[in-house]
Amino acid sequence: MFPTTFNVDADGRRGSAALKYLSPEVRRRPNLTVLTDTPLDRLEINAGRVDAAHFTRNGTPFRVTARQVIVSAGALQSPVMLMKSGIGPGAHLADHGIEVKLDRPGVGENLQEHPNIGISGYLRSCARLQSSEVHHLQALLRYSSNIDGIPPGDMHVAIAARGGWHAVGQRIGTLGFWVNKSYSTGRVRLSSSSDRRFRHRLPHAVRPEGHGAV
């Protein structure tokens, strides 16, 4: 068992990349433009190289060119964006009428997640956190499943003294169990819905493959 470390600010808010890296000083830089509510539609590929990106803002599409383009849309939406732009498994892209720019079978493959389950219960008033400024996770417990061929410490338990930030959650404690060493893999594929922009609903974006469910 060991205490946990957290990337939080002075107000207890979790430190996202936007909070920690895009500080007010950084946002004032003349060479930085931050656009919110501006979905990325597709990447533009010319001569085998991404040199532009297409967006929509307030219903109006526009194009941005750059010497270097970094796709950082998360584990699920990054491969979706690549496939929408013609980079991915050629046969799958062709099935959706997308021109294949680069046939890359590995795009959207071999995704992994930690299967988890939580057990919650009512806490007596003497066992509850008295201050909302204290982080709800108190400690982690690592243990072994003892399955043949699996390295030790492959399982985790999180001890949480608060189940939520609302009044009910402050009365609930939770033990969160998860597989810390995962072996099952999943994949992301474009939806076959009638939505031409392939707007995904994430619960249906990963399909289990291999040794179990994701």
pLDDT at 202: 42
- Whole-model pTM: value is 0.73
> For 97, left (φ over 0), alpha (ψ -120 to 50), or beta?
left
pLDDT at 93: 94
Neighbour-count burial of 188, counting CB atoms closer than 10 A to its CB (0-12 exposed, 13-18 middle, 19+ buried): buried
pLDDT at 139: 81
Residue-wise pLDDT tens for the chain (214 aa)?
666 666 777 666 777 778 788 889 999 999 999 998 999 999 999 988 999 999 999 999 999 999 999 999 888 899 999 999 999 999 999 999 999 999 999 999 999 888 899 999 998 888 887 776 667 777 888 999 999 999 898 999 988 888 777 888 888 989 999 998 888 888 999 985 334 444 444 444 444 443 333 2
C-alpha distance across the termini of the chain, in Å: 26
The amino acid sitting at 95 is D
Distance CA 91, CA 136 (A): 47
Token pair in block for residue 179 = 């597989």
Only one residue has tokens 């030790």, namely: 152
pLDDT at 165: 75
> For 59, left (φ over 0), alpha (ψ -120 to 50), or beta?
left
